[in-house]
Amino acid sequence: MADAKKVVFITGASSGIGRACAALLHERGYLVYGTSRKPAPIEPWRMVVLDVRDDASVSAAAAQILAEQGRVDVLINNAGMVLAGALEDTTLDEALAQLDTNVLGALRMCKAVLPAMRAQRSGVIINMGSIAGRVGLPFQGLYSASKFALEGFTEALRLETRPFGVRAVVVEPGDIATGVVQNRVRAAASGEGSAYLGAFRKVVASYEKDESGGASPDVVARTVLAIIEKGAPAVRYSTGPIAQRLLSGLKPFLPSKVFEFGLRVFYGL
């Protein structure tokens, strides 16, 4: 049983991976604060309204938790969005929304809790990446870019905060059965009139099939729990369907043309 005084701060905890993490950590005795952009249903753990794209919202939520508990031991940057569309069809505003949510949102959260973590000389920051942070996915290029960014972000953060006793880790789930199919945002220009429409529809249908049959969010939650309870976690952990984990792991060892050919065949491009 974990120390009940350990405080966990989870963004995007109203559903999917975030909610699974909140439920498991609450069950194991952690003091959990979950967040969502809108008031969420009552849960056994605390829920706080927070929008990772809003500086004031982030600051207010962090201040509330620190006022109530005096510390934050674990930050799980889980909130995110998935933008689909050909890169050419994606407007700069759409791209900015994707990167603001998935990358700058994590930065806002880190900036909000790091002063307290440094003062207490301990803490764990877990950034929810993706297999898409290792493999550029067609028609989800900006999503992949955001997850690639979190990989480098975590590596740098890990080096910067280690002297203060803070450990940074990135988790890379493959396809997980969450609400991503319903919540995926499509670029406005990705519909009729797009030069990429046929391929776009085929590839997104493939994504949705794999996501609907993906692993349970509980798989990711168990990985997160193991990371928190490790004395010295590694920089990254992949989780989810084994085939996807093996594929991403093979990428550095295969000639780039071979790996790309395999992706083209898989997605019918």
**Tokens representing 165?**
């006793």
**Tokens representing 51?**
């929008």
pLDDT, one tens digit per residue, over 205-230 is 999 988 888 889 999 999 999 999 99
Average pLDDT over residues 65-89: 97
Residue 241 has pLDDT above 80, yes or no: no
Residue 2 has pLDDT above 60, yes or no: no
Between 39 and 100, the higher pLDDT residue: 100
Cβ-in-10-Å burial (0-12, 13-18, 19+) of 262 comes to middle
> Is residue 112 a contact partner of residue 46, using CB atoms and an 8 Å limit?
no
Residue 33: beta bridge partners? 9, 46
- The answer to whether residue 172 is domain-embedded is yes
What's the CATH code of the domain at 148? 3.40.50.720
- The answer to whether residue 1 is domain-embedded is no
* Count of structural domains, the chain: 1
Residue 204 has pLDDT above 50, yes or no: yes
Question: What pLDDT sits at residue 252?
Answer: 87
> Is residue 155 a contact partner of residue 232, using CB atoms and an 8 Å limit?
no
- The answer to whether residue 210 is domain-embedded is yes
Average pLDDT over residues 28-44: 91
Catalytic amino acids?
Answer: 143
Question: What pLDDT sits at residue 249?
Answer: 83
- The answer to whether residue 2 is domain-embedded is no
* Sequence letter at residue 208: E
Average pLDDT over residues 57-62: 97
Question: What pLDDT sits at residue 1?
Answer: 40
Average pLDDT over residues 182-192: 92
Question: What pLDDT sits at residue 243?
Answer: 79
Residue 126 has pLDDT above 60, yes or no: yes
Between 144 and 239, the higher pLDDT residue: 144
* Sequence letter at residue 214: G
Residue 23 has pLDDT above 90, yes or no: yes
pLDDT, one tens digit per residue, over 85-103 is 999 999 999 999 999 999 9
Q: How far is CA 22 from the centre of its chain?
A: 14
Q: Residue 35's domain spans which residues?
A: 7-267
Residue 181 has pLDDT above 80, yes or no: no
Average pLDDT over residues 172-190: 89
* Sequence letter at residue 62: A
Distances (CA, A) of 39 to 13, 36, 52, 60, 220: 11, 7, 14, 15, 24
Which of 24-28, 150-154, 249-253 shows the lowest per-residue confidence on average (mean pLDDT)? 249-253
Return mean pLDDT, the chain.
Answer: 93
